Homo-oligomer: A and B are copies of this chain.
Amino acid sequence: MDIHPLDAALDLQALGGDRRLGRTRPDWANMVGPFGGITAAQLLHAAWIDPRRLGEPVALTVNYAGPVAEEEFEIEALPLRTNRSTQHWSMTLRQGGAVCTSATAVFALRRPTWAAPELAMPAVPPAADVPAETRRPPVAWPARYEFRFVAGGWPDFRRPQELPESRSLLWVRDEPPRALDFQSLAAIADIFYPRVFRRRQRAVPAGTVTLTTYFHADAAALAAQGARPLLAVAQGRRFNQGFFDQSAELWSDDGHLLASSHQLVYYKE
């Protein structure tokens, strides 16, 4: 059986010390360089496969400092501090010695506590009742996902107009299907196209500057979700002087919030 495109992208080779070698994959390409979500997954994975790792990720921040070229890259993953139940990591992706991406992550041993939801899952039809979107933007990475838009689908750049809000609501899963884990969840957190495209129904230069994802579930809960679609929601807050933020929630199909994710996006014009 062929290796899944996500697992192919996560193939990092030990270089000794804290360094590992990876390479970009054409099937994850975005407009310029790779899809930010796959870079986030690769950085998280470098800490995940480190024998010094404690527990499971609870938070990941990825800073997109410069473009990643289509070639090999090196990830340095450093455990900055290990406590009894938490561990803080720094990960840096470099090409030719230059920092392309910096990241931090918090890992933790989760344990049973008082627990409660607060945000409610949006009411939507089940994934099977929402048609899969057949159109995709003219870059490679969207073909790595199945999108079933309930609202806020791909923008229509042939009809520029200003919309009053930027929300997208959709069912999404890896294509081909793949059992959910922290790496795929970290990537899915970045599948929302820049909210400025939705507000303006226009393509303007835009790119994620920094992305933070909080994981609200343990590995067992992610495994229980399996390869079934997640419910995904994203919306922006304010667009001003070249930057806007957008926040996203990713839900299991039985109504648990698996991750919340926030990003700041650069835009031009």
Name A's B-contacting residues (CB within 8 A): 58-59, 61, 63, 65-66, 80-81, 83, 85-86, 88, 90, 92, 98-100, 102, 104, 106, 108, 110-119, 162, 165-166, 195-196, 199-200, 204, 209-210, 212, 214, 216-218, 235-245, 247, 249, 256-257, 260, 262, 264, 266-269
Which of B58, B65, B238 is the one whose CB lies under 8 Å from A216? B238
The smallest beta-carbon distance between A266 and chain B, in angstroms, is 7
Q: Which residues of B contact A117 (CB under 8 A)?
A: 238-239
Main secondary structure of the interface of A (DSSP, over half): strand
Q: For the complex, give the distance between the alpha carbons of A216 and B244 in Å.
A: 7
Q: For the complex, give the distance between the alpha carbons of A204 and B116 in Å.
A: 15
Which of B111, B116, B199, B216 is the one whose CB lies under 8 Å from A116? B199
Q: Are A98 and B81 closer than 8 Å at their CB atoms?
A: yes
Q: Which residues of B contact A262 (CB under 8 A)?
A: 212, 214, 247, 260, 262
10 tightest CB-CB pairs across the interface, nearest first?
A110-B241, A65-B88, A65-B81, A238-B257, A119-B237, A80-B99, A212-B212, A61-B61, A214-B245, A59-B210
Q: What residue in chain B is nearest A196 (Cβ atoms)?
A: B114
Known: A165-B118, A236-B118. A104 touches B61 (CB 8 A): yes
Q: For the complex, give the distance between the alpha carbons of A210 and B108 in Å.
A: 12
Q: For the complex, give the distance between the alpha carbons of A247 and B246 in Å.
A: 12
Q: Are A119 and B238 closer than 8 Å at their CB atoms?
A: yes
Known: A104-B104, A216-B243. A238 touches B63 (CB 8 A): no
The smallest beta-carbon distance between A89 and chain B, in angstroms, is 9
18 interchain pairs (CB within 8 A)? A65-B88, A80-B99, A80-B102, A108-B266, A112-B241, A113-B240, A113-B267, A114-B269, A116-B162, A118-B235, A118-B238, A118-B239, A212-B212, A214-B245, A216-B237, A216-B244, A216-B245, A237-B257
Q: Which residues of B contact A256 (CB under 8 A)?
A: 238
Q: Are A239 and B116 closer than 8 Å at their CB atoms?
A: yes
Q: Which residues of B contact A86 (CB under 8 A)?
A: 65, 209, 266
Q: For the complex, give the distance between the alpha carbons of A111 and B162 in Å.
A: 21
Which of B110, B240, B267 is the one whose CB lies under 8 Å from A242? B110
Q: Which residues of B contact A196 (CB under 8 A)?
A: 114
Q: Which residues of B contact A235 (CB under 8 A)?
A: 118
The smallest beta-carbon distance between A71 and chain B, in angstroms, is 18
Q: Which residues of B contact A266 (CB under 8 A)?
A: 86, 108
